[in-house]
Amino acid sequence: MDGSGSLKKVFAYQAPILYVVLFYGVLTAWTILNVTLMVLKITVLSNPLLLMIGFFIVYTWYFSLGICYEAELEDEGRFQLKSLRRTLRVDLNEIKTVEGPPFSIGLGFIRFRLAHEKVYLFSILGNKPFQRILLDIQAANPKIKFVKFFGL
């Protein structure tokens, strides 16, 4: 609530659960396959190679757990993104570029380029609440560049 006692207006988008579960399911299967192959080849592969493959798997999971599944746009110009690893709150002025999926299929990841990092969000561009958030972000800060958005 703000000082006048009224609720703050919040627009929220949550990626479809099936989409998120499917992504992490494929990632889990990929990890199990790689670890199984590493265990089977442990006598053939050298230790530095095993360490490199293990690092790649851990880094992939670290990055993937940072992909956001929920976005909220608050009235005071704050944008909140939630992932399994963290919750990130940014001012709309911190967003430099919003990039859509590389193909016009409307399904994929949205990349938010901030001052010091890039944040990814599971997205379905045809989702009305998500379109509303993108349009409100664009209206609140016209300096933000929108790239690869078809029909927005």
| pLDDT per residue as tens digits for the range 42-61 | 777 677 888 888 899 999 99
Q: Does residue 123 sit in helix, strand or coil?
A: strand
Residue 79 lies inside a defined structural domain of this protein: yes
Q: Are residues 46 and 92 in the same domain?
A: no
Q: Are residues 60 and 72 in the same domain?
A: no
- 118-124 and 107-113 strand pairing: antiparallel
User: What was the pLDDT predicted at 6?
Assistant: 37
* Element (DSSP H or E) covering residue 129: helix 128-140
Q: Which residues contact 118 (CB under 8 A, 6 or more apart)?
A: 111, 112
User: What was the pLDDT predicted at 89?
Assistant: 92
Q: Any alpha helices (H) in 10-127, and if so which ranges?
A: 17-40, 47-65
User: What was the pLDDT predicted at 56?
Assistant: 94
Q: Which two tokens stand for residue 135?
A: 């349009």
| 4-16 pLDDT, tens digit each | 433 355 778 999 9
Mean pLDDT of 71-89: 90
Residue 7 lies inside a defined structural domain of this protein: no
Domain around 105: 68-147
